[in-house]
Amino acid sequence: MIRILPSTQVKNKFGEILKQVYAQRNHIIVEKSGIPVAVIVPISLYNPLYSRRKDADPNVAEKLDIAAETTISLESAERLKRGYEGKEVKPSENQD
């Protein structure tokens, strides 16, 4: 689904909008004073666009590839988040 929203609504409901983009694969066109100025799309759709840029950083492109391939449900993400809250998490050796 493609939705057009004013920037103030996006600002006020950003978390909810991100969930819709992630879970329902919605596309959000953000308008400022009635003019489209930005689009919020799922990461899997942005990845090919970024990879075509002449100034694309290979490290960023690799992270986008991983993010696009490892999409999990919002419920699983929330459970993981709750599991890590208040715990010290050591970064793995292969992270930047």
Asked if 37 contacts 10 with a C-beta cutoff of 8 angstroms, the reply is no
Query: Worst-scoring range by mean pLDDT, 16-25, 27-36, 73-82, 87-96?
Result: 87-96
* Domain boundary assignment for the chain: 1-41, 42-79
**For 26-36, how does the pLDDT look when each residue is reduced to its tens digit (9 = 90+)?**
899 999 999 99
Instruction: Give the span between the Cα atoms of 67 and 40, in whole angstroms.
Output: 16
Q: How far is CA 17 from CA 5, 24, 37, 71, 77, in A?
A: 10, 10, 16, 17, 16
- Region 71-93: mean pLDDT is 55
Task: Give the whole-angstrom CA distance, residue 35 versus residue 90.
Answer: 44
Question: What pLDDT sits at residue 91?
Answer: 43
Distance between terminal CA atoms of the chain? 35
User: Would you tell me how many other CB atoms lie within 10 Å of the CB of residue 49?
Assistant: 11
- CATH node for 1-41: 3.40.1620.10
Q: What is the pLDDT of residue 76?
A: 65
Query: pLDDT tens digit string along 46-69?
Result: 777 766 777 777 777 777 677 666
Name beta bridge partners: 6.
Answer: 31
